[in-house]
Structure 1
Amino acid sequence: MTTTGIRSVGGALDRVDALEKVTGRARYAYENSPRELVYAFPVQATVAKGEIVHVGVDAVLKQPGVIAAIWHGNAPRLAPSDDDELAVLQSRRVAYRGQYIAVVVAETPEDAREAAGMLRVEYAAEDHDVDMRPDHPRMYRPDHVNPNFQSDTQRGDPDAALTTAPVVVDHTYSTPAEHNNPMEPHATVALWDGDGLTLFDSTQGASALRSVIAPLFGMPPAQVRVIAPYIGGGFGSKIEVHPHVVLAALAAKQVGRPVKLAVTRQQMFAITGYRTPTVQRVRLGAETDGRLIAVTHDAFEQTSILVEFAEPTAIVTRMMYAAPHRRTTHRLVRLNVPTPTWMRAPGEAPGMFALESAMDELAIACGVDPVELRVRNEPAKDPDTGLPFSSRNLVACLREGARRFGWAGRDPEPGARRVGRTLLGTGVAASTYPTYRAPSSARVRAEPDGRFTVSIAAADIGTGARTVLTQIAADALDAPAGLVHVEVGDSALPWAVLAGGSMGTGSWGTAVVRACEALVAELGRRGGDVPPGGVEAAADTSQEVRGQAEFARHAFGAQFAEVGVDADTGETRVHRLLGVFAAGRIINPKTARSQFVGGMTMGLSMALMEESVMDREFGDYLNHDFAQYHVAAHADVRDIEAFWLEEEDPHLNPMGSKGIGEIGTVGTAAAVANAVHHATGVRIRDLPIRLDKLVR
């Protein structure tokens, strides 16, 4: 190998997959069409609780093009699983409205959909319960909150401290159910070949999906292959294995032909996960100068009858600010609702809305500037674990953000600024997200022509994983990025952790660096000679990750918002959003800015628009399409800027990077709500911020 001296990490490399995407050569899950392909369309339950007593398949089977109608009475049997959501068509019981109870397979998608609509199902309906409220009699303390955090924690005596604190803020905040809506809906193509199963799927983790599907069908993982080279967004909804994947594989097994199943946008609101609604009580006790004495954060959430999923809503309060007395709790109720799952910045997004809104209320109660209040409560180490922070630059983000935003000289009086009918206000909130690294493996091959091929079963969900892994590999190989080709999105490649928790780049990048280092060493032993078949090296980071030193590892940021509220109608517009982040070494400033801005836009959407409305009579979400479930678009983002600080942290990974996919969402909703209060004097504690909450 020759030494180039060219460094790729830190440069604004264009997306390496851009040409494939803009020319249509990038093949997504639904675009795979094996020979003899047929189509499946699911049938969903129309009751929220009960039993199926009759399925009228005879008339459906007579319809043109119909090959099969599969239901619990004739479906192939699956192996038992800890996840009852995946026991598809295995029982006559109905746990929630919208649950898959049958599937029709036909020669064309039109025939399948029409026949599925004709399937008549009779139920013995039972009284359902979809009412999530803090005083629900079945609220309980889960053993843990996802993925493996303690449900409750306590330090000191917060109740006694709150009783004697000079200043106390005690309020309840709520966030509604929110549904992940990636651009590409979920889809699966299932193909059986002898004893082997191939799945073309839109998933955030090919390796993880394989490990779940294989035992359901009584197979070793080696007999299942999951192919997902391109994914059109996920936001966490494509982390878990959902019922449609099982249904496609089950249908293909039943009919003996490849089956294609596309989840409609409407069906996604029932079977591909969502963010649980939350009710959160936050109590802050402080000295008159704003220094915290006590913090408590109690979160109430829902999960399904089938699966326990506990959103880690209050965990962010455990480490955010210094206070000698502190408590966090989580309570959960099982209802006849779909199972909530991961949604971008799970826990932190709703939890920081409550905490950062309460911090704003404390700043007002103490007469302290909101930026200064947060600075005064900066901890020297993690208040929950006592561990040192690997790096923590929240104060620097707040100071730099205030400078860039023009925070100095802000009149703290609510409703003091008005232009015509528009009330103007500004708000601030902090952001944070943990920095994780999980074991992964990678393989790299030196080709005789001087090129390199890097293979890892990572997932690029549109964030630019291929691009940054190309840069990471290029630097580790001391080669130009143009000579590096990265293969991802296939469970046949070396095992890799899924794309989620902002841990993808840190985990995959570590494996890629170690494999490249091994290859460089092997080439050195060979004197640089590369035979016709190439030279390969591989690495597994399990031991390295398990042996890493103990630190509290987090990224931090500060969000600033300026809003305008129509004094007559209550219409709220976000005029400016500005975020400043400390996230270790930025691998690619172009893709990084995209992630920060995208996250902030999603936070704006959370603040003003996103809300899934439960119909208690029928037990279903009413607004299950884009006509009624609103998300922010370009017209809602008038002026949005993202900046980052230079941060060196040697305790993370070989790249010195922190994950950035989620932190942009955290704190944005609180910054907007705080700005709305500054503009109007009206404190909105229940998202989203609708007109009726402001016009009184």
Structure 2
Amino acid sequence: MDVSAAEAAPGVALVMTHRNAPKMAVPPPIGMTNLKAAGNHTLPIMQDAEIRWNGQVVAVVLAGTREQADHAATLIRVGYDTAPARTRFEEGKAGAYTPESMLVEKNRLDKGNAAKKLAEAAFKIDALYTTPWENHNPIEPHATTIVWQDGKLVVHDATQMIHGTAGSLAKIFGLKEGDVQVSSPYVGGGFGAKGLWDHQILGVAAAKLADRPVRVALTRANMQRLIGGRTQTEQWVALAADADGKLKALLHHGYGVKPLHSICDEGFTLTGRSLYACESFDIVQHYVDLDLLANSFMRGPGETPGTFAIECAMDELAYAIGMDPIELRRRNVATRDPVSGAPHSQSAMMEAYDMGAARFGWHRRIAQPGMRREGEWLIGMGCASGTFPFMRMPGTSVRITIDTSGDAHVASAAHEMGMGTATVQRQHAADRLGLPLDRVTVTIGDSSLPFASFAGGSSQTASLAAAISAASGKLVAELLRLAGNDTPLAGLKPAEAEFANGGLRSVEDPSRSESFASILRRSGREELSVVGESGAPLEIMKYAMHSTSANFCELRVSDVTGEIRVDRLVGAFDCGHILNAKTATSQFKGGMVMGLGMALTEETLLDERTGRIMSTSLADYHVPVHLDVPDIDVLWTGIPDPRTPLGARGIGEIGTTGVAAAIANAVFNATGKRIRDLPLTLDKLR
């Protein structure tokens, strides 16, 4: 490398390469057992001259302006010694590896001799479904500002892993955890992209080397080549059923890409294990190790591509039998976990189907494909199920502080990415503490606050709710202790007291009460703080816990050009109790728009000769725009889950799952053509 011209360029403060970069440990990988880590891969960062994927950073230029840095970067000269690389998916399949586990489950499931039952079945389908690489494109690109102060590190980041980022940076740079502060009060969209990637780590290293504050802001092209996305998948699905439509066998084999340095499992074959009751299963997933950027989490990881394959296959089976697709699902819906036999905590997928079908007007569907036409437009309807598991993270903590004014303040290092975290938890705390909403404030988004796990897997709301519940219980006990014997509350146990009207009162005798202010003043305090923590999610170990959905699509396809226009989408969701109708509606609709993009437009273009991502802007990587997005109607069962905090399950991921399958099934109903390869582009319909 020759960086001399870049170093001499106007405004340049530093050019950092592997030659002068400080020593950095490998990022600790994020995982269920290490929630204070956020690394997405296990590769050394700028510690040697080896290039491990096409797009890896080899130099960082610091300058006074972005334009000066960009210009200086063009002056760097790099010579490469090439070596054989594995960049082709088809060639890599021959050497694919088969992991023992997939997330927290065994990868291989072989139950009931599925191959034999497939061969003997009255009805069967056997098809291959493929989905492409997909990359993240949140409205807000990744950006980080770094300041070193007296040996301590302050990072202003856009992240959905605040404590994970702080803990990881401490380990990478050999710091104490308390010497790293990460601030991220608001994030302009995450979807799994806003974890810890090379740009934050390199920015911290460059700021240390230059001894000055540094801001790193990624361009769209940077994002495509530095931030991992959803792996491509190849999924073989075979279904067997008897004459009554009862499933006898479900076989689901798949290949995805997961470089050995990646930590993200895209468990798309897990989908078929939970939705439908079946006598036999044959399920396994293989990974191809390629010399590419690490794949990573993307909204609805696993279930989003998995439901495309399973739900298209269910539609194909329904057509083969001559049965309504909803009726086929009704005859096979699981009443308990099909594999473990565990009871459901709460499940009402068919109730969601009934609600959605009534709202959508499913009775107007014509089963025979190609029978509805308006001029050049062929019109079709399709449906598909969606699913996503319930998750709740242990260790998430919340501090509740009350003061003599009667106000309450809630604090946690939680994340707000537009889904309404602060709003919903403020509502919850106000209800729990018996206070008006305007007497409760919420502070989130900083690692100096009590620990919160990452915002992902639709887990944050339940985790925070459990922590607020625990903190409220502690607050009751502490207030009763402070109140002592000279109070109307004397002698009450915590279970016998409740919050009301800015204080505590007896459950059995509401006249026995005392305000927060009175208790605090008598004890000589201005305020009282307690910290509550979300305990181990024991409910997941006892019950099968999944959110489900019924997705409906009506669309039209031009028989002249093959253009697809989605006219309307309806999503009916069974996610337990809905805490806030407005924020939930936005979450569901946003997820469905992402499902629409998956179905019709999104595809990362990879040059397999070189392993280089070529679609580096929104001109090349197509996401839905206003003209693509139809009327979207959402509704929900609202049935509380008795095993979860507040009776709610997470809703962040479920909206995306099943949408692509509903659209593909509607295309078949309109045209009679089965397109099993996403996205559903014009060339595949001609």
Q: Does 1:69 align with 2:15?
A: yes
CA distance 1:305–1:325, shift in 2 (3 Å): closer
5 Å-filtered alignment, 1:140-159, equals 140-145=97-102, 147-159=103-115
136, 144, 156: which one aligns with 1:188: 144
515, 528, 535: which one aligns with 2:528: 535
User: Secondary structure of the equivalent of 2:93?
Assistant: coil
How far apart in 2 are the matches of 1:675 and 1:69? 54
**1:153 CA displacement:** 1.6
Q: Does 1:401 align with 2:401?
A: no
- What runs of 5+ residues in structure 1 fail to find an aligned partner? 1-54
Q: Does 1:583 align with 2:575?
A: yes
**1:664 CA displacement:** 0.7
User: Secondary structure of the equivalent of 1:350?
Assistant: helix
Aligned residue identity for 2:672: G
5 Å-filtered alignment, 1:274-353, equals 274-304=229-259, 306-353=261-308
| 1:118-148 deviation per Cα after TM superposition (whole angstroms, max 9, x unaligned) | 1111110223222113872221102333x33
- What runs of 5+ residues in structure 2 fail to find an aligned partner? 30-40, 484-515
Q: Which residue of 2 aligns with 1:379?
A: 334
Contact 2:257 2:290 in 1 (8 A): yes
**1:546 CA displacement:** 4.5
How far apart in 2 are the matches of 1:246 and 1:235? 21
**1:220 CA displacement:** 2.2
Contact 2:13 2:63 in 1 (8 A): yes
Aligned residue identity for 2:20: N
Q: Which residue of 1 aligns with 2:86?
A: 129
**1:218 CA displacement:** 1.2
| 1:72-91 deviation per Cα after TM superposition (whole angstroms, max 9, x unaligned) | 11110112456555521111
Aligned residue identity for 2:529: E
How far apart in 1 are the matches of 2:400 and 2:634? 34
5 Å-filtered alignment, 1:274-673, equals 274-304=229-259, 306-439=261-394, 440-527=396-483, 528=516, 529-531=519-521, 533-542=526-535, 544-546=536-538, 550-653=542-645, 655-673=646-664
Aligned residue identity for 2:685: L
User: Secondary structure of the equivalent of 1:191?
Assistant: strand
User: Secondary structure of the equivalent of 1:174?
Assistant: strand
Contact 2:574 2:639 in 1 (8 A): yes
How far apart in 2 are the matches of 1:214 and 1:151? 34
User: Secondary structure of the equivalent of 2:98?
Assistant: coil
How far apart in 1 are the matches of 2:615 and 2:92? 26
**1:523 CA displacement:** 2.9
How far apart in 2 are the matches of 1:230 and 1:463? 11
How far apart in 2 are the matches of 1:410 and 1:464? 37
128, 145, 153: which one aligns with 1:197: 153
How far apart in 2 are the matches of 1:88 and 1:304? 16
Contact 2:26 2:42 in 1 (8 A): no
79, 97, 106: which one aligns with 2:25: 79
Q: Which runs of 4 or more aligned residues in structure 1 lie more than 6 Å from their structure 2 counterparts after TM superposition?
A: none
**1:663 CA displacement:** 0.5
**1:362 CA displacement:** 0.1
* TM-score of the superposed pair, with normalisation by structure 2: 0.91
Q: Which residue of 1 aligns with 2:74?
A: 117
CA distance 1:120–1:395, shift in 2 (3 Å): same
How far apart in 2 are the matches of 1:81 and 1:649? 38
Q: Which residue of 1 aligns with 2:48?
A: 91
**1:515 CA displacement:** 1.1
Aligned residue identity for 2:8: K
657, 661, 676: which one aligns with 2:667: 676
Aligned residue identity for 1:580: A
Instruction: Give the alignment's Cα RMSD to 1 decimal.
Output: 1.5
5 Å-filtered alignment, 1:20-31, equals none
How far apart in 1 are the matches of 2:318 and 2:453? 41
**1:65 CA displacement:** 1.2
Q: Which residue of 2 aligns with 1:49?
A: none
Q: Does 1:60 align with 2:6?
A: yes
Contact 1:549 1:651 in 2 (8 A): no
How far apart in 2 are the matches of 1:308 and 1:473? 36
Contact 2:264 2:297 in 1 (8 A): no
Contact 1:441 1:495 in 2 (8 A): yes
| 1:584-641 deviation per Cα after TM superposition (whole angstroms, max 9, x unaligned) | 1111000000001111111111100001111123321211110111111222122110
Q: Which residue of 2 aligns with 1:18?
A: none
**1:253 CA displacement:** 1.0
5 Å-filtered alignment, 1:222-301, equals 222-238=178-194, 240-301=195-256
